Structure 1
Amino acid sequence: MIMRVQQVVMATMVVTIVVFGPKRAEAAAPRAFFVFGDSLVDSGNNNYLPTTARADSRPYGIDYPTHRPTGRFSNGFNLPDIISQRIGSEPTLPYLSPELNGPKLLVGANFASAGIGILNDTGVQFVRILRMYEQFELFEEYQERLSAEVGSERAKKIVNGALVLITLGGNDFVNNYFVTPFSPRSRQFTVSQFSRYLISEYSKILQRLYELGARRVLVSGTGPLGCVPSQLASKSTNGDCVPELQQAAQIYNPLLVQMTKDLNSQVGSDVFVAVNAFIMNMDFITKPQTFGFVTSKVACCGQGRYNGIGTCTSLSNLCPNRDIYAFWDAFHPTQRALGFIVDAIFSGTNDVMSPMNLTTVMALDSNI
């Protein structure tokens, strides 16, 4: 089991994919990359918004090449950055960045915004964030700008041939359903009912993304939510993963896998590839030493129990070696842990990557 995970490894998510590759004549051109979702993939859009969900102060970015905060919820690179490196592309810029113009548009764009969820009422405590309908509105605006740059026909080919990553779901549980003992959503739904409701809404999001031209989409769900330092600090009495959150993830993730299969049947192609991050992450969390970590419970940056209370700030406890910690802050993996996640995305076997991993996807697309 552990040997399998070392080849594959961890993610805070379930991931899914959508693509019809570009024509052979254009195969040599760098593949565009688009990113949607929450703080796991936000590369700095929230820096430009009046929100409390920000990663724009030290020690965020301490291991980034500039050693400065970038808006990424990481000590260095985030998940999209590492994927970009592996596919030989430049990192995607936040869509709200003034630097995203001209030829940079051909690289792609990151529309993600920390704090959002599948549901529009998720993350209301963070004030002004880019909810999914707004991210899609910006994607439409991006396509208009791209068309003005390269012409509508080429713009359409760039979008259709792009790789897309969307990461959603965790906040709907942690910052909505379970945010208080008697949240509005927990009074409205059982965990099972809420999971099914989320899946029905996520399906609509993916269908809309397909309508907007995405043809290879990495779609993420949730990892083991009850095992992140924030939940250990606030809800665990003995350091064990919180059962209620674990059960929610175990209900939700199989539903997501089935939903992607159903969508594939509807479009008549393996557009969506489900990645079972829960399995990968649990192997990683239960055997951290196997992967070179001293702990998978204590965050590198934070305060309180497991360094899981509050946010990471310049006044927080800070570990001297981020490479031996699985979690950077109360919610997010370290840069090194994210490398294992990307290994899983590219090399995962069928039990975690269904129906194929990203290496297979890239190979198939290169032959179209």
Structure 2
Amino acid sequence: MSQLFTPIELAGHTVRNRLWVAPMCMYSATDGMPNDWHHVHLAQFAAGGAGMVIAEATAVVPEGRISPEDTGIWNDAQAEAWAPITAAIRARGAVPAIQLAHAGRKASTWSPFAGRGHGSVPEGEGGWPTLAPSAVAFDGYATPAELDAAQIDALVDAFGAAAARAWGAGFEALEVHAAHGYLLHEFLSPLSNHRTDEYGGSLENRARLLLRILDAVREAAPEALLMVRFSAQDWADGGWDLAQTATVATWAAAHGAAFVDVSSGGLVAHQKITTGPGYQVHLAAGIREATGLPVGAVGEITTGPQAEAILASGEADVVLAAREWLRDPHFALRAAGELGDADLAPWPAQYLRARRRA
């Protein structure tokens, strides 16, 4: 019996298998509005057999976008535009999910399609001032302003409001983005958080904003599956690490999080990281062992046997892939065949004629 194609139940939500689509920025929205590109892009993965499809990092406020072309869910019009997309995902058997995000000091940057390289978009060219826990810039980006207490309170409210809109738009799972060097990761790591108030210094203080946001999201959408994505390692001396992640993941569970999506890196430009097949899986395994929580593994996972081995070894409960889904939107259908039984995958009736029999 394949573990990859065994359903998983999380906080009362059943997901049909354990091969999910990780959130991937498309840099294709206007004024935060998802469009036909996002509809086709996300729905195809559900037809391709994914258990859950997580929409890209979606800003809870305009200034939280990574680029001017990022999606948002800070107003009702955006939520209405997401609704047919979630319906399309659900109609094809997958769970629609969204990553709620704020980019912090890494906001207002050029998209990969702008032809302007890396760096901050000037205000005169569609950019905006950025905000962060401390006035410390990411290398090569504009220096952010330090958030004050009132702005932090408003941000908590914005996450809650976005969660309510997301649930109303049909997203069944909500992932709070605390990874990849964006705002909540910036609060967690001592490399980017130099505050001396109740949001800086101790681990409890650095985690305070994340936990407040989880409370706000849970209150706004109590029936949703609440998830958190962490970068479990900064890959830089003196930074955020696996032990701190495990501690905060346990606290997050006490505040309603039912699943931990484990990635790494992104906080500083001087990170030292060696990539390769499954290079982040050991971090997921470490969080799972330390906390007992259900976790997802990521990082150059490209075949059915590789994904199956990760689950069979007990390193993770779910495998999330990103670029492999871009290369093959029917990754799950292929993965089942690679495991020797195409019938394991949830083939759409329209595609059954293409299924290879053993």
The answer, yes or no, to whether TM exceeds 0.5 is no
Could you tell me the TM-score, scaled by structure 2's length?
A: 0.43
Which structure dedicates a bigger proportion of its chain to helix? 1
Structure with bigger strand share is 2
